[in-house]
Amino acid sequence: MNGESPGVFIAEFDGGKRGRFGFVFDPQTRVPTDQFSINGGEKGLIYKYTNSLYDNEVWLAFYGLEDYEKNIVSYSDVNDVVDITHYEAEIDLTSPSKRLGLKADIEMIVRSDGIAAIPFIIGESLGTRDDDRKNKQMRISRAVVDGVPLAFAQEEWEGGFTVFLPAKAKAGDKITVEMELEGDFLRQSQFVNHCHYPRSNTSWYPRHGYLDRSTYALTFNHSKSRKVAAVGLRTSEERDPEDDSVTITKYEMRHPISLATFALGPFERHTEQIKWDTGEDPITLEFNSLPGAYLAIKESFILAELNNTVRYFHALFGAYPYDTFSATFHPYGFGQGFPSMLMMPPTDRDSKYTFAFVSHETAHQWWGNIVAWRSYRDQWLSEGFAEYSGVLYTGLRRDQGAAKNMIEAMRGSMSAPPRTELGLGKGRLTDVGPLILGHRLASSETLDAYSVLVYEKGALVLRMLHFLLSDPSTLDDKGFYDMMKDFVGRYRNKVASTDDFRIVAGEHFAKSPIGRKFGLQNLDWFFSQWVYDSKLPSYKMEYTIEDRQGGGVVVKGTVFQEDAGEKWFMPLPLVFDFGGKQVARGTVHAYGPSTPFSIDLPMKPKGVSLDPDKWILSDKTSESKK
């Protein structure tokens, strides 16, 4: 209907050694994007439905032949049909255990000529377990443009629906589609009564595009005995003049964001002010807790941690933009950081795990919300960065030893075997694949590869950039934070790809002490090694110390780089210990299997160590004096 060609091809195979599997080729990239979250421009997939995952497992994802011939491909978002700019939504929560009602005016701009059918995604995160997708899905019952009812189609198992315009729209046309939907889409926690959450926080309302941004005005109708927490600023909370048992609560998010959510419960609100050290106007911090009769939660501890973490990252990574910052209790074993609101289990114990967890979730305000990832391949920019932000905060909040332990644990997990459906698999997680494969690292044979690599290796890769952009002789790391702030500044309220980040980081690196020392103009070499390749080198330094004529000594040695091939290049920190806390710092580099070096020193060091602070990711790093 939109005149797109060629069309979609789908085939299913069965009866061979591999059992039943599917093949899809979609030149408009919509099926891979909407139903598989594979949106780096891939057009074809080979996949198999896997019972134990309640989902399809992707075996292969590939581009079109012409893309391979041109050796370049566009991100899938170029195929978006519309750009949704604003949601004006009324959300009916008056019978939460039966239904979620949604009336929405969705404002959008058409992106190309001849558009007659607009597909939306919704409920795509519901799986096949208990037939959730089929039975609990939000179903569209009405769609209207300018007073004209529209035809629409939603299949029984579809993770979305399509509406059909009465006439073909042109690029730049602004249209508002009024929609009504409902479904059994709220879940009540098994542990805490009277709290309801969307079955999927990210797919309860119609969306178009992967992380397209919009502003939101949300009006909730709900029982007066509960409260609603949502993204954005609460602008009113009043009794419904027509029904005394109902409260109407309104939230507004005036910044364009990718994902919005809410929670309903007997919340008890705890607030304090966030006063920025950098002088901006204070904003309100709110924690939607539960009354003590349900659960004892140390709200003051949680408020203090939220306040500390948001101020810390505001200073490090650039201004926190939203009008409020809040967290809302949810009784599940994970956190989710939505713009201006975290969904959090009660994490009120004074431990390094709590500090790392809360700061990871708060850091998503920058990594994920202020700057979103462009495709699944770029998700390490969100999870890896949030994880490393958690290390930085934990080091400050607890002590550097706690941060060091976290880094050592992350390095250790690189060599751990992957988890499979049947227990532990063979080999090492790090060899499963490079960071740029994103969630495709996870499969039934490598269940934990996404979380370990994208979160932990992602964090360790950012840590290497922390070193490369610092002054290695003083460990002054202003250069690193200047780069991170610049990255946030350039991509504020936008999506960024790995390439976008590589370019920003490379520009700063060219001016850094290490970039200048080695005459390097960019970080292309670094990204091709650590993001696009999956090698895990080991470093060993052997050295001698000889007296020099006329005083001083010369430290001579070789850096051996194993398991990295001929062309792998890496600067490494070197620390000279002169005793009595007197140290000097410098760098050596490895290029290929062995690289000699020679360094003059004014006096003889007691010891020389290679990267004692574990800046550079390796399987093993050691030194020995000959």
Which among 125-133, 169-177, 242-250, 379-387 is the span making contact with Zn ion, rule CB under 5 A? 379-387
Comparing CB distances to Zn ion, the nearer of 286 and 383 is 383
Give, as ranges, the residues between 518 and 557 that touch Zn ion (CB under 5 A). Answer: none
CA atoms of 142 and 149, how far apart (whole Å)? 7
Smallest distance, Zn ion to C-beta of residue 375, A: 17
Strand order in the sheet with 82-92: 148-149, 139-145, 174-183, 100-110, 82-92, 214-223, 243-257, 233-240
The answer to whether the beta carbons of residues 378 and 438 sit under 8 Å apart is: yes
Shortest-Cβ-distance residue relative to Zn ion? 386
Comparing CB distances to Zn ion, the nearer of 384 and 479 is 384
Comparing CB distances to Zn ion, the nearer of 367 and 509 is 367
Which are the contacts of 598, defined by CB distance < 8 A and separation ≥ 6?
Answer: 554, 555, 556, 557
Smallest distance, Zn ion to C-beta of residue 326, A: 17
Comparing CB distances to Zn ion, the nearer of 158 and 383 is 383
User: SS3 string of 202-227?
Assistant: CCCCCECCCCCCEEEEEEEEEECCCE
The answer to whether the beta carbons of residues 421 and 52 sit under 8 Å apart is: yes
Per-residue binding letters, 337-376, with Zn ion (x by CB under 5 A) = ----------------------------------------
Comparing CB distances to Zn ion, the nearer of 91 and 459 is 459
Comparing CB distances to Zn ion, the nearer of 82 and 386 is 386
Give, as ranges, the residues between 388 and 447 that touch Zn ion (CB under 5 A). Answer: none
Smallest distance, Zn ion to C-beta of residue 54, A: 22
Closest CA to 142 of 99, 184, 105, 98: 105
Smallest distance, Zn ion to C-beta of residue 139, A: 31
DSSP annotation of 441 reads: G
Smallest distance, Zn ion to C-beta of residue 387, A: 7
Smallest distance, Zn ion to C-beta of residue 364, A: 6
Comparing CB distances to Zn ion, the nearer of 386 and 403 is 386
# residues contacting Zn ion (CB under 5 A): 2
Which residue is it, tokens 């809302």?
328
Comparing CB distances to Zn ion, the nearer of 115 and 392 is 392
Which among 27-35, 111-119, 269-277, 380-388 is the span making contact with Zn ion, rule CB under 5 A? 380-388
Comparing CB distances to Zn ion, the nearer of 386 and 468 is 386
Smallest distance, Zn ion to C-beta of residue 358, A: 12
Which among 18-26, 118-126, 377-385, 499-507 is the span making contact with Zn ion, rule CB under 5 A? 377-385
CA atoms of 38 and 29, how far apart (whole Å)? 9
Comparing CB distances to Zn ion, the nearer of 366 and 509 is 366
Which among 86-94, 215-223, 378-386, 611-619 is the span making contact with Zn ion, rule CB under 5 A? 378-386
Smallest distance, Zn ion to C-beta of residue 483, A: 21
Contacts 24+ apart (CB under 8 A), 51-58: 52/421, 52/444, 53/444, 54/127, 54/128, 54/129, 55/127, 55/128, 56/22, 57/443, 57/444, 58/440
Which among 382-390, 463-471, 521-529, 586-594 is the span making contact with Zn ion, rule CB under 5 A? 382-390
Smallest distance, Zn ion to C-beta of residue 337, A: 7
386 lies in the site for Zn ion, by CB under 5 A = yes
CA atoms of 583 and 520, how far apart (whole Å)? 27
The answer to whether the beta carbons of residues 527 and 586 sit under 8 Å apart is: no
Smallest distance, Zn ion to C-beta of residue 470, A: 25
Give, as ranges, the residues between 150 and 209 that touch Zn ion (CB under 5 A). Answer: none
Closest CA to 374 of 434, 427, 321, 436: 436
Comparing CB distances to Zn ion, the nearer of 96 and 384 is 384
Which among 124-132, 384-392, 406-414, 589-597 is the span making contact with Zn ion, rule CB under 5 A? 384-392
Comparing CB distances to Zn ion, the nearer of 212 and 361 is 361
Query: ∠ CA 625-588-583 to the nearest 5 degrees?
Result: 70
453 lies in the site for Zn ion, by CB under 5 A = no
Q: Which amino acid is at 19?
A: G
Smallest distance, Zn ion to C-beta of residue 362, A: 10
CA atoms of 456 and 12, how far apart (whole Å)? 37
Smallest distance, Zn ion to C-beta of residue 393, A: 14
Q: Residue 218 CB: number of other CB atoms within 10 A?
A: 25
Smallest distance, Zn ion to C-beta of residue 361, A: 7
Per-residue binding letters, 457-486, with Zn ion (x by CB under 5 A) = ------------------------------
Which residue is it, tokens 């052997």?
542
The answer to whether the beta carbons of residues 464 and 616 sit under 8 Å apart is: yes
Comparing CB distances to Zn ion, the nearer of 299 and 383 is 383
Tell me the three state secondary structure of residue 109: strand
- Provide the β-strand partners of residue 11: 23
90, with CB counted inside 10 A (0-12, 13-18, 19+), is middle
Which residue is it, tokens 């030893």?
401
Strand order in the sheet with 160-169: 115-121, 160-169, 151-153
Closest CA to 389 of 325, 458, 326: 458
- Provide the β-strand partners of residue 372: 495
Comparing CB distances to Zn ion, the nearer of 132 and 383 is 383
Q: 541: part of which helix (H) or strand (E)?
A: strand 538-547
Comparing CB distances to Zn ion, the nearer of 107 and 361 is 361
Smallest distance, Zn ion to C-beta of residue 360, A: 6
Q: 472: part of which helix (H) or strand (E)?
A: none
Smallest distance, Zn ion to C-beta of residue 58, A: 22
Write out the residues near Zn ion by the rule CB under 5 A.
383, 386
